[in-house]
Amino acid sequence: MPKPYLGVWLDHRQAYLIWLDGNGECGVEYREGRYSQDGEKPGRAVAGRAGAFGGVAPHVHLEEKRHREAKLFYEEIFRSVRSKAKHVYIFGPGQARAELHRRLTAHKDFGGHVHAVESAGKMTRPQMVARVRRFFKLPRPAA
């Protein structure tokens, strides 16, 4: 049975896709982004050096890299969501949820409907599943 209800908890580093069907049956997918704490992979130097002799400030490269990595991360999530999700609920800390919402609604291939975008802190998987069930008013599956 397809699972048309989707809750997405995400920040810039990871995402949990919580799929539910009308009977409350659940599936959880985990996606990890390439975005590290400071925007750089460990052991890699940033090119460029700002100063009196020109060059590019190192933070410019980091911002460009963060933007590219975020775009790739949201596109990966979109590919998973685009044809399957009919009802979407996005939640999580920071700005990642708003950025994903903008990307989803900008795609002409997205046939679903984003019902809400809400703030939420760090959660365990069972807490995420419970929150999505409550939001869509779906039953718990029979044991």
**Number of domain units in the chain:** 1
Query: What confidence score (pLDDT) does residue 60 get?
Result: 65
Q: How far lies 53's CA from each of 37, 56, 92, in Å? A: 30, 10, 43
Note whether residue 121 is domain-resident: yes
- The answer to whether the beta carbons of residues 4 and 86 sit under 8 Å apart is yes
CATH of the domain at 97: 3.30.420.60
| Contact yes or no for 19/26 (Cβ under 8 A) | yes
76 is a domain residue:
yes
Judge whether 81 lies within some domain.
yes
pLDDT, residue 141, reads 81
10-residue mean pLDDT series, the chain (143 residues): 87 93 90 64 48 57 81 86 87 90 85 90 94 94 74
Query: What range does the domain containing 127 cover?
Result: 5-35+56-136
Report the Cα 61 to chain-centroid distance in Å.
23
Let me know if residue 82 belongs to a domain: yes
Global pTM value: 0.79
- Structure confidence by residue, pLDDT tens digits, 87-116: 999 999 988 899 989 888 888 878 788 999
